[in-house]
Structure 1
Amino acid sequence: MTNSEMTSLSASLQSPEPGSRSGTTRKRIEKHDFPGYGTYNVHAHPPSPHLQKLAATLTSSSSSSSKLTTLEATSISGNDILSSSFYVSGLVTLTAGILAPLCLLLVGLTLYLFRSIYAETVTALPCNGGTYNVLLNCTSKQFASMAACFAIIAYITTGVVSALTAIAYLKTIVTSIDLESSTIILLFSFFILTSYGISESAFVAKIIFLGHVFTLTGLCIFGILFIGFSEENYLRENWNTEYPRVNVAGEERDGTVWTAIFYGFSSAMLGVSGFETSSQFIEEQAEGVFVKTLKNMWQGVMIFNPLLSLISFAALPIDVITANKDTVLAGTAKVIGHWIKKSLNFPEHWEVGELLSFWVSIDAFVVLAGAVLTAYVGINGLIRRMAMDRCLPQVLLWKNSVTNTDSLILFGFFALCVSQVILLDCDVEALGGVYCYAFLSVMSIFAFGNMILKVKRPSLPRLHKTSWLASIAGFLSVVTALLGNILGKPELLTYFFVYFIVIGVLVLSMFNRVNILRVILFVLREMGVEEEAWEKEPETLGGIAATRSPKWWWNRGAATQVSTSPSAAENPDETIDLETAGLLAKASPKKDQTSKRRSCFKSVVATLSSVRDVPFIFFAKHDDLYVINKAVLYVQKNEQTSKLIIVHCKSEKSGDTQTLSEHVKLIDVLYPKIKVSLLVVEGAFGIGMIEWLAQELAIPINAMFITCPDKDFTMKIQELRGMRIITY
């Protein structure tokens, strides 16, 4: 293309003055709200060998050999969910009395329902984020982020409860240690460990998990023998005790069998802490591992928790269990050890009871510390995903250059955990209540998300399916447990809402940055601050002058050929590059001395423009005006951007794209506050093409959207690597 043709084309697509855009009757559009025209006839010809090389590189990097095995993934989540055995039986006994084993068994049955719910949902959308990821692909981004706030609180409380209980068991051995300071030291230790990376963390978790399963198995075997052969067990005596008095919305009432089951079941749900964690790092797991982790965790909860609770009732009077609710199993092991010594006629100086109690206490300390590790790993995956989606500040994406880990996220989590330790004064029961509110909210929302997935994404391929009956039953079960905790511990709602408000305000402020800045502009105008005259930045074909390109673009030797007309195949010399087309992501300009002297009004306008100057991509498979319109509406509602690039991957069988170009131009005129461009790429849609576009346009993959895949979709969902599904 000659210089004169370039100039003519550029001039023909220059943005008109605000308020005068062709096709709109708007009398006034602010300059900062009008991004300019899009481009509608840009054709790219990525070299096939390069696409194949990118695809091969991505396939090898995501191979199963570099990902977590079943044992490693189960260990990370299992240390959390199985560590609950050390404190949940005591807490459930406070409200259920002798029916605690039954309540823990009911929780196991509920978890069986959630095995299939999680399996269907996460295999359909195999990306990190858990509940947040499901709702992000099925509902609005705001709703997904608010739901994620519950998960964040749950992880904070999980880490604190586990750390406190670990130190409580350690105090049975070393009585002189301080509970609060030791808990903070333990939390800091795992902050350092996780800063070294998930592989090292998985190795430590695996060692802890195997030792813990061995301990619980041994304690269960000895406990069963104790129940069957000991003449000094307390089962009959405990069975005749009255049901505990319960708190019903602040009023004390006598306990009944129904209050014991209702409130006991509600408290027992604390015993499934960690079940959702596996979904937070599914991208780091090898293929097929996730479903196996769900099965392994369910089996552990179903077997160990009810059985150990029953054994504790045989070994200890019920009032001793409630008085030592944080260290029940240590006392149980001590009694069983004394019985073993007496039954086998061991020498008098052999302290078998003390030795078995010491063993259980050490294991409790280690595995509960491992549950702290689980909290760190889970929160890291969730927060990073939210930051990438611009739901949280981008500074959280900073990586430690030495260890290549998200040190800011991990340190922030450590700081929040410390605040909860101090605020709730190391009260495990209070922390357990706060955790239940958050965790049960997460599980109920996840079950709700599963039902939305069935309705809104029915064609999405999935490896497992669950029935509507199971989804509804699981949802009602956790809602019942949530209601029981609210009625039984209403005073803890204050602490819960403090954390929810703090985290929620941060998330909401990120979503409403544009609206907040517009309010500031309005206030400045009302105060009489006038906008200074300032020239618009130079515009090119896309209405925006791109200022950067990925470094490897220039090292590649030759620029990718991009055509401004459908006749590119016939006239390959008529080309420009993507930078000239104005499609590259724009870097924030460097501040100079002049910018420092800008007016307050102009500074706010510049900030507003920089927030919205982040492009997104929507892949249009067909020339469907209805779908493209829905995509634009979704972007306007959920993203703070003024740029949307419609990408069409043109194959040999595809027809002329002229009609598609006209439709995109129409959409661009209909929505004056967002610049809609069309990029036609010669080649098939695939992982190589996705990565090429991400590199060439400097747009992350999580800023790319597609319609819901169907049964004919040739790619695996995980190969989309976080690409969002926004419409049918």
Structure 2
Amino acid sequence: MSGTDAGRPVLHNFNAFEFAGWGSFSQLTLTPGELSTGDAQVRCIRDARVLGQWTGTALPGNAVLGSVFYALPAVVSVCGVYSPIALFVATLIPFIWRPIMEELVSALPIRGAPYSYILNVSRKPLALFGAALLLLDFAATSVVSASTASAYIPGELCERLPFPLFVSAALILLLFALVSLTGLRESARIALGVLSFHHLFDGICLGMLGLTGIECAPSYTARIQPGRFPLVLRNLHLPAIVLNTLMITLVLALSAGRWLRTWIVVDAAVVLCGGVLTGILSACELIEQLAHDRVLPRIFLFVMPLSGAPYLSILAFTLFCAAVYTSAGANLAVLSKMFSLVWLTVMGLFPLALLLLRFNRPRLPRERSTGLGMVLIALAVTPIVFAGNVAIDPSTAGYFAAYLLSVLLLFLGATPRNQVRFLRTLYWAHDQYHPGFQRWRVKALVEGIKKVKRQPVCILAKTDEISYLLRMLLYVRENEETSCVKLVHFNYSGDEENAEIPSELEANAKILGEAFPEITIDLIIVQDTPFSPPNVAALANRLNIPTALMFMGCPGAEFPYPVADFEARIVSL
């Protein structure tokens, strides 16, 4: 390429289709209508926090209190009469995790945790690893709960069902997929009704499986009323201590007769069915966030008109659960082995996320602080218990690796970055080995790359320091696939006449534009408008950029707004 563009040279030795062009400079003023729309959107975000401590407890509560029923056989097989002691010790371990989760939630009360935590404090590839673990964990929660519930009932009836157990498990999964279509609020009420009806080393390692479901609680933080999450964790943990120890004691002392056995079996089946609902709704929260972040297609954001339920997410997750169940040959033992290691790894993500938060986003405001020793203990406990489960049954590691790799490949194949890499590989292959390749096919490859990179993203810049702007832009280049960046500065000082644009902002934007020729950097000054959640939402509508693709620096302790109200990603100190 040669020539000039607005007095600036067009770069040589650069693929024409990769040169995004020079950026522009503009100033805009948000209209009263746009500001009103932005304010309404932020109110909707706040109004979505509909879950109190009891409905917030009910959703993961059925999974937590139901998990004891599929942990019992494994614990009894290795501990025998010492099982109550092993389970009791295992139920004390979450005292380590509770302050960690509370600090993370107070800092980042957003959906899709711990995937979203890692995304805001680290890089996207690590966050996708967490997302793959979470999706597998939620699928295992639903499938294992449904399969275990269907196994309990015929065992007590002492007769065979008119169809195989895998059919009853599939029917339970389908039933609660339909229930989840009623929406989050109604599903939480149903879960609350179900929950209300319900109420040594090897043994401790296996007993930790009796606490699965607690990792689902942070997934709903964007829906839980402010200040209620610590109460939710308390309501989950304390009953689990009593139930795990008491239930196994009752199982080991069934001399009370058939009535006690029947009561336990019915209780187990009901609560396990509630665990299916927990897995589905947790997965929907995660899928919604992945769609916002361009990991999954935006069609997963479509909702039903009346209930607001994400029907495509529910359908896709139900099919995914069916695939997991089928690939395991409807074998509950295989699923439980995989589930145990997936859950332990997910729990390890919470202390990891907190360490990354403290190192990369130390200024982020939060209501409580956990001792570093507690965080390090949680990180140490995770691999110890993980190794303990693998030592008991080494085949567990194989199932874990196979399922995790499958989900990771699914996510990696769906991301725009890897789609562009694939198309670029085809373009390179054509250029190297097929010079006579049809021209229209080359054009199709180029258009495909441009289409994937067409989605703009927005950097919300608070200063004109080039080092700060460079860090923000490097994050975008390394984590998002785009050829257009809107560099936005809200210019407001409280005095419209004296509001001045940072002196070096325009010059530094031009420098970065020349340093990154594959990205068009448009500088936009929002005049006479303070930086606030409603105004950022109004700007997102004006630019047609989702707030999930708007990136901001880390706020400090004196920042006047809740971070969750922006729905933007924190990508710098």
- Smaller-chain TM-score bracket: over 0.9
Q: Distance in 1 between matches of 2:46 and 2:514?
A: 45
Matching residue within 690, 700, 703 for 2:536 = 690
Aligned to 1:193: 179
Task: Report the CA distance shift for 1:20/1:106 in structure 2 as closer, same or farther (over 3 A).
Answer: farther
Aligned to 1:149: 132
Q: Aligned-pair distance for 1:174?
A: 7.0
Matching residue within 260, 270, 285 for 2:224 = 285
1:573-584 equivalent positions in 2, closer than 5 A: none
Does residue 624 (structure 1) correspond to residue 465 (structure 2)? The answer is: yes
Aligned to 2:214: 275
Does residue 655 (structure 1) correspond to residue 496 (structure 2)? The answer is: no
Task: Report the CA distance shift for 1:528/1:430 in structure 2 as closer, same or farther (over 3 A).
Answer: closer
Task: Report the CA distance shift for 1:19/1:275 in structure 2 as closer, same or farther (over 3 A).
Answer: farther
Aligned to 2:51: 68
Could you say what secondary structure the match of 1:370 adopts? helix
1:18-37 equivalent positions in 2, closer than 5 A: 27-37=12-22
Contact residue 76 and residue 83 of structure 2 kept, 8 A: yes
Does residue 384 (structure 1) correspond to residue 285 (structure 2)? The answer is: no
Could you say what secondary structure the match of 1:276 adopts? helix
Task: Report the CA distance shift for 1:38/1:59 in structure 2 as closer, same or farther (over 3 A).
Answer: closer
Say which is worse superposed, 63-72 or 295-304, in terms of deviation: 63-72
Aligned to 1:140: 123
Aligned partner letter, 1:278: A
Aligned to 2:29: 45
Q: Summarize deviations over 1:530-550 as a string: whole Å, max 9, x none.
A: 688xxxxxxxxxxxxxxxxxx
Could you say what secondary structure the match of 1:283 adopts? coil
Q: Summarize deviations over 1:514-534 as a string: whole Å, max 9, x none.
A: 1111001011223424688xx
Q: Distance in 2 between matches of 1:654 and 1:451?
A: 39
Matched residues, number:
563
Matching residue within 165, 173, 185 for 2:157 = 173
Task: Report the CA distance shift for 1:175/1:657 in structure 2 as closer, same or farther (over 3 A).
Answer: same
Aligned partner letter, 1:702: A
Q: Distance in 2 between matches of 1:179 and 1:277?
A: 27
Matching residue within 503, 520, 528 for 1:675 = 520
Task: Report the CA distance shift for 1:705/1:521 in structure 2 as closer, same or farther (over 3 A).
Answer: same
Aligned to 1:606: 447
Q: Distance in 2 between matches of 1:692 and 1:83?
A: 44
Q: Aligned-pair distance for 1:93?
A: 1.6
Q: Distance in 1 between matches of 2:425 and 2:9?
A: 25
Q: Distance in 1 between matches of 2:570 and 2:129?
A: 19
Could you say what secondary structure the match of 2:20 adopts? coil
Q: Distance in 2 between matches of 1:393 and 1:189?
A: 26
Does residue 522 (structure 1) correspond to residue 428 (structure 2)? The answer is: yes
Q: Summarize deviations over 1:404-444 as a string: whole Å, max 9, x none.
A: 43222222222222233333344333222100111111111
Identify, as 1 or 2, the structure richer in helix. 2
Task: Report the CA distance shift for 1:648/1:65 in structure 2 as closer, same or farther (over 3 A).
Answer: closer
Does residue 101 (structure 1) correspond to residue 87 (structure 2)? The answer is: no
Q: Summarize deviations over 1:113-154 as a string: whole Å, max 9, x none.
A: 100010001220111111111110111011100121111111
Aligned to 2:204: 265
Aligned partner letter, 2:261: S
Q: Aligned-pair distance for 1:507?
A: 1.5
Q: Distance in 1 between matches of 2:481 and 2:39?
A: 34
Matching residue within 192, 196, 207 for 1:206 = 192
Contact residue 64 and residue 287 of structure 1 kept, 8 A: no
Q: Distance in 2 between matches of 1:84 and 1:433?
A: 14
Matching residue within 298, 304, 307 for 2:237 = 298
Could you say what secondary structure the match of 1:28 adopts? coil
Q: Distance in 2 between matches of 1:663 and 1:497?
A: 46
Contact residue 23 and residue 669 of structure 1 kept, 8 A: no
Q: Distance in 1 between matches of 2:304 and 2:126?
A: 31
1:303-314 equivalent positions in 2, closer than 5 A: 303-313=242-252
Aligned to 1:368: 272
Matching residue within 175, 182, 202 for 2:168 = 182
Q: Aligned-pair distance for 1:55?
A: 5.3
Q: Aligned-pair distance for 1:294?
A: 0.9
Q: Distance in 2 between matches of 1:412 and 1:607?
A: 26
Q: Summarize deviations over 1:338-393 as a string: whole Å, max 9, x none.
A: 3xxxxxxxxxxxxxx33x43333222211110000000000111112112211223
Aligned partner letter, 1:288: G
1:550-589 equivalent positions in 2, closer than 5 A: none
Aligned to 1:248: none
Contact residue 68 and residue 211 of structure 2 kept, 8 A: no
Q: Aligned-pair distance for 1:690?
A: 0.9
Task: Report the CA distance shift for 1:21/1:107 in structure 2 as closer, same or farther (over 3 A).
Answer: farther
Say which is worse superposed, 177-186 or 281-290, in terms of deviation: 281-290
Q: Aligned-pair distance for 1:502?
A: 1.8
Task: Report the CA distance shift for 1:651/1:367 in structure 2 as closer, same or farther (over 3 A).
Answer: same
Aligned partner letter, 1:293: V
Q: Distance in 1 between matches of 2:27 and 2:212?
A: 52
Aligned partner letter, 1:660: L
Does residue 477 (structure 1) correspond to residue 385 (structure 2)? The answer is: no
Q: Distance in 1 between matches of 2:4 and 2:124?
A: 31
TM-score scaled by structure 1?
Answer: 0.74
Q: Distance in 1 between matches of 2:77 and 2:2?
A: 71
Contact residue 73 and residue 293 of structure 1 kept, 8 A: yes
Aligned to 1:639: 480
Q: Aligned-pair distance for 1:600?
A: 1.2
Could you say what secondary structure the match of 2:93 adopts? helix
Unaligned 5+ segments in structure 2 are none
Q: Distance in 2 between matches of 1:162 and 1:628?
A: 48
Task: Report the CA distance shift for 1:364/1:463 in structure 2 as closer, same or farther (over 3 A).
Answer: same
Q: Summarize deviations over 1:151-176 as a string: whole Å, max 9, x none.
A: 11111111111111111222123732
Task: Report the CA distance shift for 1:192/1:515 in structure 2 as closer, same or farther (over 3 A).
Answer: same
Task: Report the CA distance shift for 1:515/1:425 in structure 2 as closer, same or farther (over 3 A).
Answer: closer
Q: Aligned-pair distance for 1:657?
A: 3.6
Matching residue within 65, 68, 71 for 1:88 = 71
Matching residue within 391, 405, 412 for 2:309 = 405
Q: Aligned-pair distance for 1:263?
A: 1.9
Contact residue 68 and residue 210 of structure 2 kept, 8 A: yes
Q: Percent identity?
A: 26
Contact residue 619 and residue 647 of structure 1 kept, 8 A: yes
Matching residue within 363, 372, 378 for 1:459 = 363
Aligned to 2:566: 720
Aligned to 2:546: 700
Q: Summarize deviations over 1:55-76 as a string: whole Å, max 9, x none.
A: 5424543445861121111000
Contact residue 18 and residue 30 of structure 1 kept, 8 A: no
Q: Aligned-pair distance for 1:192?
A: 1.4
Q: Distance in 2 between matches of 1:459 and 1:715?
A: 14
Contact residue 136 and residue 144 of structure 1 kept, 8 A: yes
Q: Distance in 1 between matches of 2:38 and 2:297?
A: 31
Task: Report the CA distance shift for 1:403/1:71 in structure 2 as closer, same or farther (over 3 A).
Answer: closer
